[in-house]
Amino acid sequence: MSDTEALFDVPRHWWHFRSCQTCGGWLKQNATHTYVVQRQGWVKIGSTRNVRRRLNELARPAWTQHLLSPDAMDWLEPLVTIAVLEEDVEHELHERFEAAHVLGEWFLPDASMRDWLATL
């Protein structure tokens, strides 16, 4: 809460409590898996209920028009699946690696993230 909000007791809007402060996505999506993929050095941390479908979508260059991604990304480069976690920890990981955040769910790994990726 900012000093101004505290001074005037201004309530935060409901969407502040329901969106990830890093990627802006909704916090409660009822996803069952978190996936970690990489393309050209950028790492995407996302969540889904259907891992196979989502990874197929991300692998297709035609999906560039539907997804938020770094401008310099070449969608013809292969998508590498690093890990599929059996729980929805997407936004916890976004918060943990906020310093490496680039755009949406994409990160450019710093030392901390590279250390974590090495454990997967």
Rounded mean pLDDT of 114-120? 95
pLDDT at 5: 45
pLDDT at 70: 87
pTM metric for this prediction: 0.79
Within 10 angstroms of residue 46's Cβ, the number of other Cβ atoms is: 23
pLDDT at 102: 93
In sequence order, what are the beta bridge partners of 101?
107
pLDDT at 4: 46
Spans of all domains in the chain: 3-118
CB 31 within 8 A of CB 48: yes
Distance (Å, rounded) from C-alpha 104 to C-alpha 110?
A: 17
pLDDT of 72 higher than 80: yes
What is the per-residue pLDDT across 45-71, written as a single tens digit (0 to 9) for each? 999 999 999 999 898 877 666 678 888
pLDDT at 65: 67
Within 10 angstroms of residue 48's Cβ, the number of other Cβ atoms is: 20
CB 43 within 8 A of CB 32: no
